[in-house]
Chains A and B, each alone.
Chain A
């Protein structure tokens, strides 16, 4: 084999990534959103599906196949997608509209703000390729969507961790009357939370692991890595608590405060810019009540990201479990140094 080709094959490459399984998880579910929406649609005939030429890439095709008469393809037109969804909501339907995060938020923001959020229209935006879950670059990576959606009055914002939570969240938001922005994981989606015991509740954080040395506050798929980081930390005698905050808005302030009251070393982890997302929300909550904590925000720094394979990107921007563990260790080490001096 040609040497150049051999070398290249050892490198990760940008692929047309169709799956949210970014780490080679052992247990996965196939198209959990599409199947959960079909179940919700079987229960409630008012649920309709829409997409802007991304049915196959957002698992909406599962719903479209089951309920062709309740599915609307609007073509490559995200403003119209959300406008049509708002119109359907105003005639009593529960529209689930899919596209990618970047297009739903950056391109169609005003249509979501005025068409849906202002009048609390019952529109569910299901947004694919959150953060670093695509090999494509800045055009397709939703790195600022949580900040944009958190800023909208009346909007509910959810970043689920895995297939279990995504499925349960679909059920929950179908029953909730109001506009929702839900980040989508699609294709083969890891199962991290036990479907038998985990219960998603809108607006509620879940303490997934108790600990007393450092608090890892995470959202979305980074929760899996926070749990892995906690395991690594435990090996070196550090007890990390993991609080999973899948609902970014309304924010479970109480859960955050009761945890960090006792653990003053706090690391936030998110698949998003460190501006305007989970890290910001935690900082707002703790500073407003006057709690003194040490806070390290892990997420994408103030930059547009490169394209590349997912493992490469996750490492490059320090969103992997080892980086999370290292940040926690570093925080505890500097704390010791500070208390000695």
Chain B
């Protein structure tokens, strides 16, 4: 890498960190409206969404049905809070609408649906995202479109059999235009994933299913960028990226409480949460 390229890479990481921080602010703004919810997941996945929506994916916010667009397929519907943040930051949803998150009659449902602009499918009934992503990857390839499909799964979702039916098919059809991210935060509804139903050895499983598999720190933007670089190298295989993430990332108050899939927060704690988010960001900046 030349000095110029290296400087540009540093600038990219820095600008994406700013985006991720903005997404986290949006997540807190939404979560405070309902006083609870999937704030831990939204904060934990903000780095990936910042990289996808502000660096990696080709899309047109003015033309959401553009056939050549890259598609983000959110299988884990309860992560919608994170996607709303990204869509609002990208100008696809109005920022003010974030205040309606989880409100009666709002289209920003706690587990989002395809009726909301920017949602490619209705996730939330877990195990349905990857099969549909496989269908999309086949579809765009059949028309020789350059589009790529990015599907976000969770560690607990790997317990759904349909995920593995789709994993077989993706590999059988050599879908190298498909990237599956597995958010590995080791938390699911009934407790730690390893206690509820162990999904390890996770890299071995995806590799055995015929996927090109990587495992990275999912809260490290440079690592996410590097992993995505790898997915651009054609190998005739679909790509799996296991993201080790921290629920509540950026807000120590929530990181400590993140032993729960669904966090409850007292009304008095939001101010502290916001402060902690801004402080943690300053810390990150000084890390370079």
Residues of A at the B interface (CB closer than 8 Å) are 48, 69-70, 72, 74-75, 77, 79-80, 82-93, 95, 110-111, 114-115, 118-119
Contact = CB atoms under 8 A, between A and B. Distances in A.
Given A83-B128, A84-B131, A90 B120 contact: yes
Nearest to B166: A80
Given A70-B142, A89-B135, 7 more contacts: A74-B165, A75-B169, A77-B169, A82-B131, A83-B162, A87-B135, A118-B122
A84 B138 contact: yes
Interface size class of B (residues with CB under 8 A): 20 to 34
B113 interface: yes
B198 interface: no
Given A80-B134, A83-B134, A90 B121 contact: yes
Contact of B169 (A70, A74, A91, A119): A74
Contact of A111 (B131, B140, B142): B131
Contacts of A82: 131
B131 A88 contact: no
B132 A115 contact: yes
A224 B165 CA distance: 40
B139 A75 contact: no
Contacts of A79: 127, 131, 161-162, 165
A114 B129 CA distance: 11
Interface in B129-174: 130-140, 142-143, 161-162, 165-166, 168-169, 172-173
A115 B168 CA distance: 19
A122 to B, nearest CB: 12
Task: Tell me whether chain B's interface is mostly helix, strand or loop, or mixed.
Answer: helix
Contacts of A88: 135-136, 138-139
Nearest to B162: A79
A88 B136 CA distance: 5
Contacts of A86: 121, 131-132, 135
Contacts of B122: 114-115, 118-119
B125 interface: yes
Nearest to A113: B125
A-B pairs, 8 with minimum CB distance: A87-B135, A83-B131, A91-B139, A80-B165, A77-B165, A87-B132, A84-B135, A79-B162
B67 interface: yes
A115 B131 contact: yes
B194 interface: no
Given A84-B169, A115-B128, A90 B161 contact: no
B114 interface: yes
A245 B7 CA distance: 70
Contacts of B113: 118-119
A88 B127 CA distance: 17
A77 B168 CA distance: 10
- In this complex, the member of B67, B130, B138, B168 whose beta carbon has the largest number of chain A beta carbons within 10 angstroms is B138
Contacts of A48: 142
A111 B162 contact: yes
7 contacts: A84-B135, A84-B166, A87-B133, A87-B136, A90-B139, A91-B140, A93-B139
Contacts of B161: 79
A91 B67 contact: yes
Contact of A72 (B136, B138, B166): B138
